[in-house]
Amino acid sequence: MRLIVFAVVLTTNYSFGQDTVFFDAKWKPTNKKSADFFRIDKKENDHWKRSDFYLQGQLQMTGTLKSTDPEIKEGKFEYYHSNGKLKHTGSFKNDREVGEHRWYTDAGTIEAVENYRDGKLNGAFKEYHSNGKLSQETSFKDGLQEGKTIYYSEDGVKLADGNFKDGDRIGIWAYYDESGKIKNTHEFKTDYVIKEANMFIRMPNSEWELTTKSEQPTQYVFKRTSVKDREGREIIPGIIVAVEDASKFNHDVTQYTIAKRMQFRNKQLKVDKILIHENKEYPLSYKNAFITKCSYNENGTDHLLYMIHIINDDNKGIQIYMDMTKDLGDEYEQEFWTTMKSIRENK
Protein backbone atom coordinates (compact mmCIF):
# COMPACT_ATOMS: atom_id res chain seq x y z
CA MET A 1 0.00 0.00 0.00
CA ARG A 2 2.79 2.43 0.80
CA LEU A 3 4.26 2.05 -2.69
CA ILE A 4 0.90 2.74 -4.37
CA VAL A 5 0.27 5.86 -2.28
CA PHE A 6 3.76 7.16 -2.95
CA ALA A 7 3.25 6.82 -6.71
CA VAL A 8 -0.04 8.71 -6.59
CA VAL A 9 1.57 11.55 -4.67
CA LEU A 10 4.37 11.89 -7.26
CA THR A 11 1.91 11.97 -10.17
CA THR A 12 -0.24 14.58 -8.48
CA ASN A 13 2.74 16.83 -7.72
CA TYR A 14 3.94 16.61 -11.35
CA SER A 15 0.52 17.41 -12.83
CA PHE A 16 -0.24 20.41 -10.68
CA GLY A 17 3.32 21.70 -10.34
CA GLN A 18 3.60 22.65 -14.04
CA ASP A 19 1.44 24.44 -16.58
CA THR A 20 0.32 22.15 -19.43
CA VAL A 21 -1.39 23.54 -22.55
CA PHE A 22 -2.69 21.49 -25.49
CA PHE A 23 -2.47 22.51 -29.18
CA ASP A 24 -3.90 21.26 -32.45
CA ALA A 25 -1.88 20.59 -35.63
CA LYS A 26 -1.77 24.35 -36.41
CA TRP A 27 -0.58 25.20 -32.90
CA LYS A 28 -3.87 26.69 -31.83
CA PRO A 29 -4.91 26.02 -28.20
CA THR A 30 -7.39 23.16 -27.85
CA ASN A 31 -8.42 20.42 -25.45
CA LYS A 32 -6.52 17.19 -24.87
CA LYS A 33 -8.96 15.15 -26.97
CA SER A 34 -8.31 17.26 -30.11
CA ALA A 35 -4.61 17.88 -29.46
CA ASP A 36 -1.57 17.01 -31.55
CA PHE A 37 0.93 18.67 -29.19
CA PHE A 38 1.20 19.76 -25.58
CA ARG A 39 3.40 22.32 -23.86
CA ILE A 40 4.93 22.69 -20.43
CA ASP A 41 6.37 26.03 -19.30
CA LYS A 42 8.40 26.00 -16.10
CA LYS A 43 9.69 29.12 -14.35
CA GLU A 44 13.41 28.96 -13.59
CA ASN A 45 14.79 32.06 -11.87
CA ASP A 46 14.36 34.99 -14.31
CA HIS A 47 13.34 32.93 -17.35
CA TRP A 48 10.96 30.20 -18.49
CA LYS A 49 12.00 26.74 -19.58
CA ARG A 50 9.68 25.67 -22.42
CA SER A 51 9.20 22.10 -23.60
CA ASP A 52 6.82 21.17 -26.42
CA PHE A 53 5.85 17.54 -27.00
CA TYR A 54 4.11 15.47 -29.62
CA LEU A 55 0.95 14.07 -28.03
CA GLN A 56 2.52 10.62 -27.63
CA GLY A 57 5.21 12.19 -25.41
CA GLN A 58 8.13 12.63 -27.83
CA LEU A 59 9.93 15.97 -27.35
CA GLN A 60 9.17 18.42 -30.18
CA MET A 61 11.04 21.52 -28.95
CA THR A 62 12.97 22.78 -25.96
CA GLY A 63 14.34 26.22 -25.18
CA THR A 64 14.18 29.20 -22.86
CA LEU A 65 12.13 32.39 -22.92
CA LYS A 66 12.70 35.73 -21.20
CA SER A 67 8.94 36.20 -21.19
CA THR A 68 5.87 34.17 -22.13
CA ASP A 69 3.56 37.18 -22.63
CA PRO A 70 4.84 38.39 -24.97
CA GLU A 71 6.87 35.37 -26.00
CA ILE A 72 10.56 36.29 -26.22
CA LYS A 73 12.99 33.50 -27.10
CA GLU A 74 16.44 33.72 -25.54
CA GLY A 75 19.31 31.26 -25.85
CA LYS A 76 19.61 27.88 -27.52
CA PHE A 77 16.57 26.08 -29.00
CA GLU A 78 16.28 22.54 -30.31
CA TYR A 79 13.46 21.13 -32.45
CA TYR A 80 12.82 17.45 -33.15
CA HIS A 81 11.05 15.30 -35.74
CA SER A 82 8.30 13.00 -34.47
CA ASN A 83 10.73 10.07 -34.69
CA GLY A 84 13.03 11.73 -32.15
CA LYS A 85 15.68 12.88 -34.65
CA LEU A 86 17.01 16.42 -34.29
CA LYS A 87 15.32 18.79 -36.79
CA HIS A 88 16.69 22.27 -36.07
CA THR A 89 19.08 23.79 -33.59
CA GLY A 90 20.08 27.41 -33.13
CA SER A 91 20.13 30.38 -30.77
CA PHE A 92 17.93 33.43 -30.27
CA LYS A 93 18.49 36.80 -28.67
CA ASN A 94 15.51 38.99 -27.87
CA ASP A 95 13.36 36.66 -30.01
CA ARG A 96 15.60 37.00 -33.06
CA GLU A 97 17.80 34.35 -34.63
CA VAL A 98 21.54 34.78 -34.08
CA GLY A 99 24.60 32.77 -35.01
CA GLU A 100 24.63 29.41 -36.72
CA HIS A 101 21.41 27.45 -37.24
CA ARG A 102 21.41 23.86 -38.47
CA TRP A 103 18.57 21.88 -40.07
CA TYR A 104 18.33 18.09 -40.40
CA THR A 105 16.08 15.62 -42.22
CA ASP A 106 14.04 13.03 -40.33
CA ALA A 107 16.70 10.53 -41.39
CA GLY A 108 19.34 12.51 -39.52
CA THR A 109 21.25 13.93 -42.51
CA ILE A 110 22.16 17.60 -42.69
CA GLU A 111 19.66 19.75 -44.64
CA ALA A 112 20.97 23.31 -44.29
CA VAL A 113 23.44 25.46 -42.37
CA GLU A 114 22.44 29.10 -41.94
CA ASN A 115 23.98 32.09 -40.22
CA TYR A 116 21.96 34.93 -38.69
CA ARG A 117 22.50 38.36 -37.25
CA ASP A 118 19.68 40.14 -35.46
CA GLY A 119 17.01 37.90 -37.02
CA LYS A 120 18.24 38.14 -40.61
CA LEU A 121 20.27 35.71 -42.67
CA ASN A 122 23.81 37.04 -42.65
CA GLY A 123 26.92 35.18 -43.71
CA ALA A 124 27.56 31.74 -45.18
CA PHE A 125 24.63 29.54 -46.21
CA LYS A 126 24.75 25.91 -47.32
CA GLU A 127 21.93 23.64 -48.44
CA TYR A 128 22.16 19.88 -48.99
CA HIS A 129 20.49 17.19 -51.08
CA SER A 130 18.66 14.36 -49.29
CA ASN A 131 21.75 12.16 -49.78
CA GLY A 132 23.81 14.60 -47.69
CA LYS A 133 25.77 16.09 -50.58
CA LEU A 134 25.99 19.83 -51.04
CA SER A 135 23.18 21.36 -53.11
CA GLN A 136 24.19 25.02 -53.01
CA GLU A 137 26.61 27.30 -51.23
CA THR A 138 26.11 31.02 -51.08
CA SER A 139 25.97 33.89 -48.60
CA PHE A 140 23.55 36.49 -47.33
CA LYS A 141 23.77 40.10 -46.23
CA ASP A 142 20.99 41.63 -44.11
CA GLY A 143 18.54 38.94 -45.23
CA LEU A 144 19.31 39.15 -48.96
CA GLN A 145 21.38 36.73 -51.01
CA GLU A 146 24.73 38.31 -51.81
CA GLY A 147 27.94 37.20 -53.51
CA LYS A 148 29.26 34.06 -55.16
CA THR A 149 26.79 31.19 -55.46
CA ILE A 150 27.34 27.62 -56.66
CA TYR A 151 24.72 24.94 -57.36
CA TYR A 152 25.52 21.21 -57.39
CA SER A 153 23.80 18.04 -58.57
CA GLU A 154 23.07 15.12 -56.23
CA ASP A 155 26.25 13.51 -57.60
CA GLY A 156 28.33 16.50 -56.51
CA VAL A 157 28.83 17.93 -60.01
CA LYS A 158 28.74 21.71 -60.31
CA LEU A 159 25.65 22.79 -62.27
CA ALA A 160 25.90 26.58 -62.26
CA ASP A 161 27.72 29.47 -60.61
CA GLY A 162 27.41 33.23 -60.56
CA ASN A 163 26.79 36.19 -58.28
CA PHE A 164 23.86 37.64 -56.36
CA LYS A 165 23.46 41.27 -55.38
CA ASP A 166 20.65 42.55 -53.15
CA GLY A 167 18.88 39.19 -53.44
CA ASP A 168 18.94 38.95 -57.23
CA ARG A 169 21.16 37.32 -59.85
CA ILE A 170 23.55 39.68 -61.54
CA GLY A 171 26.26 39.52 -64.16
CA ILE A 172 27.42 36.50 -66.13
CA TRP A 173 26.39 33.06 -64.90
CA ALA A 174 27.98 29.84 -66.16
CA TYR A 175 26.12 26.54 -66.62
CA TYR A 176 27.95 23.22 -66.71
CA ASP A 177 27.40 19.79 -68.24
CA GLU A 178 27.74 16.44 -66.46
CA SER A 179 31.50 16.43 -67.01
CA GLY A 180 31.91 19.84 -65.40
CA LYS A 181 32.57 21.73 -68.62
CA ILE A 182 30.81 25.02 -69.36
CA LYS A 183 27.93 24.42 -71.79
CA ASN A 184 26.59 28.00 -71.88
CA THR A 185 26.55 31.34 -70.12
CA HIS A 186 23.87 33.95 -69.52
CA GLU A 187 24.11 37.57 -68.43
CA PHE A 188 21.55 38.72 -65.89
CA LYS A 189 20.82 42.42 -66.10
CA THR A 190 18.14 44.66 -64.63
CA ASP A 191 19.40 48.20 -65.48
CA TYR A 192 18.93 49.61 -68.97
CA VAL A 193 19.42 52.96 -70.66
CA ILE A 194 17.03 53.73 -73.51
CA LYS A 195 19.53 55.93 -75.31
CA GLU A 196 17.03 57.22 -77.89
CA ALA A 197 15.07 58.85 -75.04
CA ASN A 198 17.99 59.38 -72.65
CA MET A 199 15.94 57.39 -70.15
CA PHE A 200 16.92 54.93 -67.41
CA ILE A 201 14.67 51.97 -66.59
CA ARG A 202 15.17 49.08 -64.19
CA MET A 203 13.42 45.75 -64.47
CA PRO A 204 12.06 44.52 -61.11
CA ASN A 205 14.28 41.41 -60.98
CA SER A 206 16.41 39.12 -63.10
CA GLU A 207 13.39 37.10 -64.22
CA TRP A 208 12.97 39.89 -66.78
CA GLU A 209 15.22 40.38 -69.78
CA LEU A 210 15.44 42.36 -73.01
CA THR A 211 14.30 39.98 -75.74
CA THR A 212 13.94 42.30 -78.76
CA LYS A 213 15.35 45.66 -79.79
CA SER A 214 14.51 47.38 -83.07
CA GLU A 215 15.79 50.65 -84.55
CA GLN A 216 12.99 51.86 -86.84
CA PRO A 217 10.71 52.33 -85.09
CA THR A 218 12.66 52.38 -81.84
CA GLN A 219 11.26 49.65 -79.64
CA TYR A 220 12.52 47.61 -76.71
CA VAL A 221 10.63 44.48 -75.68
CA PHE A 222 11.19 43.01 -72.23
CA LYS A 223 9.68 39.69 -71.22
CA ARG A 224 9.42 37.87 -67.93
CA THR A 225 10.06 34.21 -67.25
CA SER A 226 6.70 32.52 -67.72
CA VAL A 227 4.34 32.11 -64.78
CA LYS A 228 1.23 29.96 -64.47
CA ASP A 229 -2.23 31.46 -64.11
CA ARG A 230 -5.08 29.94 -62.11
CA GLU A 231 -5.93 27.60 -64.93
CA GLY A 232 -2.37 26.34 -65.22
CA ARG A 233 -1.61 28.18 -68.47
CA GLU A 234 1.89 29.50 -69.11
CA ILE A 235 1.71 33.32 -69.21
CA ILE A 236 4.57 35.64 -70.15
CA PRO A 237 4.11 39.21 -68.82
CA GLY A 238 5.69 41.87 -71.02
CA ILE A 239 6.93 45.46 -71.00
CA ILE A 240 7.35 47.40 -74.27
CA VAL A 241 9.18 50.73 -74.53
CA ALA A 242 8.81 52.74 -77.76
CA VAL A 243 10.41 56.09 -78.60
CA GLU A 244 9.49 58.54 -81.35
CA ASP A 245 9.56 62.20 -82.26
CA ALA A 246 6.65 64.05 -80.62
CA SER A 247 7.37 67.61 -81.79
CA LYS A 248 3.94 67.99 -83.41
CA PHE A 249 2.26 67.66 -80.00
CA ASN A 250 4.10 70.73 -78.66
CA HIS A 251 4.63 69.07 -75.23
CA ASP A 252 0.88 68.46 -74.84
CA VAL A 253 1.01 65.02 -73.23
CA THR A 254 -2.79 64.88 -72.91
CA GLN A 255 -3.23 64.98 -76.67
CA TYR A 256 -0.33 62.58 -77.08
CA THR A 257 -2.00 60.09 -74.74
CA ILE A 258 -5.34 60.34 -76.56
CA ALA A 259 -3.65 59.80 -79.92
CA LYS A 260 -1.71 56.76 -78.72
CA ARG A 261 -4.73 55.15 -77.10
CA MET A 262 -6.37 54.99 -80.52
CA GLN A 263 -4.19 52.04 -81.51
CA PHE A 264 -6.07 50.00 -78.89
CA ARG A 265 -9.58 51.00 -79.94
CA ASN A 266 -10.36 47.50 -81.21
CA LYS A 267 -9.60 46.04 -77.78
CA GLN A 268 -12.44 48.01 -76.15
CA LEU A 269 -10.26 49.15 -73.27
CA LYS A 270 -11.85 49.89 -69.93
CA VAL A 271 -10.02 52.71 -68.15
CA ASP A 272 -9.69 51.86 -64.45
CA LYS A 273 -7.44 54.68 -63.28
CA ILE A 274 -5.54 57.72 -64.59
CA LEU A 275 -2.55 59.18 -62.75
CA ILE A 276 -0.79 62.47 -63.35
CA HIS A 277 2.00 64.08 -61.35
CA GLU A 278 -0.40 65.88 -58.99
CA ASN A 279 -1.70 62.54 -57.68
CA LYS A 280 -0.22 61.25 -54.44
CA GLU A 281 0.54 57.73 -55.73
CA TYR A 282 2.08 58.94 -59.00
CA PRO A 283 5.37 56.99 -59.24
CA LEU A 284 7.31 58.71 -62.06
CA SER A 285 10.03 61.35 -61.84
CA TYR A 286 8.77 62.81 -65.16
CA LYS A 287 6.05 65.41 -64.64
CA ASN A 288 4.89 65.65 -68.26
CA ALA A 289 3.37 62.17 -68.34
CA PHE A 290 0.15 60.19 -68.10
CA ILE A 291 -0.28 56.75 -66.53
CA THR A 292 -3.43 54.90 -67.51
CA LYS A 293 -4.41 51.63 -65.88
CA CYS A 294 -6.74 49.66 -68.16
CA SER A 295 -8.33 46.27 -68.55
CA TYR A 296 -9.51 44.41 -71.62
CA ASN A 297 -10.65 40.96 -72.68
CA GLU A 298 -8.94 38.98 -75.41
CA ASN A 299 -10.15 35.55 -76.47
CA GLY A 300 -12.02 35.17 -73.21
CA THR A 301 -9.07 36.14 -71.00
CA ASP A 302 -9.06 39.35 -68.94
CA HIS A 303 -5.89 41.43 -69.16
CA LEU A 304 -4.35 44.17 -67.05
CA LEU A 305 -2.63 46.89 -69.07
CA TYR A 306 -0.65 49.92 -67.94
CA MET A 307 -0.01 52.62 -70.53
CA ILE A 308 2.58 55.30 -69.77
CA HIS A 309 2.96 58.25 -72.14
CA ILE A 310 5.75 60.78 -71.66
CA ILE A 311 6.96 63.76 -73.64
CA ASN A 312 10.42 64.74 -72.41
CA ASP A 313 12.25 68.04 -72.71
CA ASP A 314 13.74 66.94 -76.04
CA ASN A 315 10.28 66.40 -77.54
CA LYS A 316 10.74 62.64 -77.49
CA GLY A 317 7.52 60.73 -77.12
CA ILE A 318 8.01 57.73 -74.84
CA GLN A 319 5.41 54.97 -74.76
CA ILE A 320 5.61 52.21 -72.15
CA TYR A 321 3.11 49.36 -72.12
CA MET A 322 2.92 46.74 -69.37
CA ASP A 323 0.62 43.78 -69.96
CA MET A 324 -0.30 40.62 -68.03
CA THR A 325 -3.40 38.52 -67.50
CA LYS A 326 -5.60 39.97 -64.79
CA ASP A 327 -5.57 36.99 -62.44
CA LEU A 328 -1.79 37.38 -62.09
CA GLY A 329 -2.25 40.94 -60.86
CA ASP A 330 -2.40 40.20 -57.14
CA GLU A 331 0.99 38.52 -57.22
CA TYR A 332 2.87 40.28 -60.01
CA GLU A 333 1.37 43.76 -60.51
CA GLN A 334 3.84 45.11 -57.96
CA GLU A 335 6.62 44.30 -60.42
CA PHE A 336 5.13 46.86 -62.80
CA TRP A 337 5.08 49.45 -60.03
CA THR A 338 8.70 48.67 -59.12
CA THR A 339 9.68 49.34 -62.73
CA MET A 340 7.61 52.54 -62.96
CA LYS A 341 9.33 53.94 -59.86
CA SER A 342 12.72 53.40 -61.49
CA ILE A 343 11.98 55.36 -64.68
CA ARG A 344 13.91 58.62 -64.87
CA GLU A 345 16.11 60.74 -67.10
CA ASN A 346 19.58 59.27 -67.50
CA LYS A 347 21.65 62.08 -66.06
Domain boundaries, the chain: 2-188, 191-345
Listed in sequence order, the residues at least 6 apart from 200 whose beta carbon sits closer than 8 Å to its beta carbon are 191, 192, 193, 194, 342, 343, 344, 345, 346
pLDDT digits (tens, 9 = 90+) for 177-218: 988 899 999 999 999 999 999 999 999 999 999 999 999 899
Average pLDDT of every residue of the chain: 92
Q: What is the pLDDT of residue 186?
A: 93
Give which of 319, 323, 266 is closest to 291, Cα–Cα.
319
φ/ψ (deg, to 5) at 141: -140, 115
Give which of 91, 109, 107 is closest to 99, Cα–Cα.
91
Whether 5 has a pLDDT exceeding 50, the answer reads no
**Three-state SS for 34?**
helix
Give which of 188, 189, 180, 124 is closest to 155, Cα–Cα.
180
Whether 111 has a pLDDT exceeding 90, the answer reads yes
* Dihedral, CA of residue 244, residue 248, residue 250 and residue 252, to nearest 10: -70
Whether 137 has a pLDDT exceeding 50, the answer reads yes
Predicted confidence band of residue 13 (pLDDT cuts 50, 70, 90): very low
Q: What is the pLDDT of residue 18?
A: 52
**Three-state SS for 52?**
strand
pLDDT digits (tens, 9 = 90+) for 287-324: 999 999 999 999 888 999 999 999 999 999 999 999 99
Least confident of 10-24, 46-60, 201-215: 10-24
- Would you give the distance in Å from CA 60 to the centre of its chain? 29
The percentage of residues in the chain with a pLDDT greater than 70, rounded to a whole number, is 95
Q: In angstroms, rounded to a whole number, what is the distance separating the alpha carbons of residues 144 and 347?
A: 29
Fold of 191-345: Protein Transport Mog1p; Chain A (3.40.1000)
Whether 10 has a pLDDT exceeding 60, the answer reads no
Whether 17 has a pLDDT exceeding 80, the answer reads no
Q: In angstroms, rounded to a whole number, what is the distance separating the alpha carbons of residues 158 and 176?
A: 7
Q: Compute the average pLDDT of residues 14-40.
A: 83
Cis preceding linkage at 70, omega within 30 = yes
For residues 171 and 3, which has the higher predicted lDDT (pLDDT)? 171
Q: Compute the average pLDDT of residues 273-283.
A: 95
Predicted confidence band of residue 266 (pLDDT cuts 50, 70, 90): confident
The percentage of residues in the chain with a pLDDT greater than 90, rounded to a whole number, is 86
Whether 11 has a pLDDT exceeding 80, the answer reads no
DSSP string, 208-257: EEEEEEETTTEEEEEEEPPEE-TT--EE--EEEEEEEE-GGGTT-HHHHH
Q: What is the pLDDT of residue 12?
A: 31
For residues 330 and 152, which has the higher predicted lDDT (pLDDT)? 152
φ/ψ (deg, to 5) at 235: -115, 135
Residue 314 has a CB neighbour count (10 Å cut-off) of: 11
Residue 224 has a CB neighbour count (10 Å cut-off) of: 21
Fold of 2-188: Outer Surface Protein A; domain 3 (3.90.930)
CA distance readout (Å), 266 to 57, 262, 269, 297: 68, 9, 8, 11
pTM for the whole structure: 0.75
φ/ψ (deg, to 5) at 301: -110, 125
